[in-house]
Homo-oligomer: A and B are copies of this chain.
Amino acid sequence: MMLTDKNLAVLSKLEWRYATQKFDTNKKIDSATWDTVEKALILTPSSWGLQTWKFVVVTDAKIKEELVAASYGQKQVKDCSHVVVICRPDKLTAEYINEFVDFTASVHGLSAKEFAREHEMMLRMQKGMNEAQTAEWMSMQCYIALGNLMTAASMLDIDTCPMEGFSKKDYDRILGLDKSGCHSVVVCAMGYRSAEDQKANLPKVRFPKEKVIVRI
């Protein structure tokens, strides 16, 4: 099967990506490229477009150092260039949905009434979920952002290390999230791999296609 250059370019970036264990502490993501990363995060698709997330970007050296202990000693959060902590709000309120509908109407130059049907469906979904279900649903949205972030970063030749192994309670405290009605969901350390990271050269471990793809 002939793959076009476009196909090969995308695959080579995804093959190049790996969970970076050792970042080069001297290499920082430049501000224009970081601006692109933030724009890519903001463009993440979400259910109904509700964007129930906050992206906390940590570059402060002292705070990054504090995050190491809260990450069970993983040094990536200190050595990398930027740490992105993907967070969800405490709760999803009817007010948030109303505000979103008003904002959508203003962007489209329409009256909020034009979105009455979607508005009602969103409010019904919001009312239909209890606190735990709402938290789970908003966390799922955060994982779309994580997937988009890692793939977009690889296209920009930026290395990433996704992390679930951290104390959410400690992160929330260190970053002051508990005071702002937010909770950390998942973390992504970003920067450039160290030449010493031996993990970079290991072959990728992926189950064969027959095990994970089913065609119907």
Secondary structure dominating the interface of A:
helix
Q: Are A216 and B63 in contact (CB under 8 A)?
A: yes
* Residues from 117 to 146 in A contacting B, C-beta threshold 8 Å: 136, 139-141, 143-146
Question: 0/1 per residue, A46-57, Cβ < 8 Å to B?
Answer: 010101011111
Contacts of A212 in B (CB 8 A): 41-42, 51, 53-55
Q: How many copies of this kind of chain does the complex include?
A: 2
Contacts of A17 in B (CB 8 A): 43, 45
Is there a chain B Cβ closer than 8 Å to A107's Cβ?
Answer: yes
Whole-angstrom distance between the alpha carbons of A156 and B149 in the complex?
A: 17
Q: Confirm or deny: A80 has a beta carbon within 8 angstroms of a beta carbon on chain B.
A: no
Measured CB to CB, the nearest residue on chain B to A155 is B10
CA distance A203 to B57 in the complex (A): 27
**CB-defined contacts of A141 to chain B, threshold 8 Å:** 143
Contact of A144 among B35, B43, B143, B209 (CB under 8 A): B143
Interface residues of A, Cβ cutoff 8 Å to B = 1-4, 6-7, 9-11, 14-15, 17, 19, 31-33, 35-36, 38-45, 47, 49, 51, 53-60, 63, 103-104, 107-108, 136, 139-141, 143-152, 155-157, 162, 164, 175, 186, 202-207, 209, 212-216
Enumerate the 6 nearest inter-chain pairs by beta-carbon distance, A residue then B residue, closest first: A147-B147, A143-B143, A7-B36, A144-B147, A151-B151, A147-B148
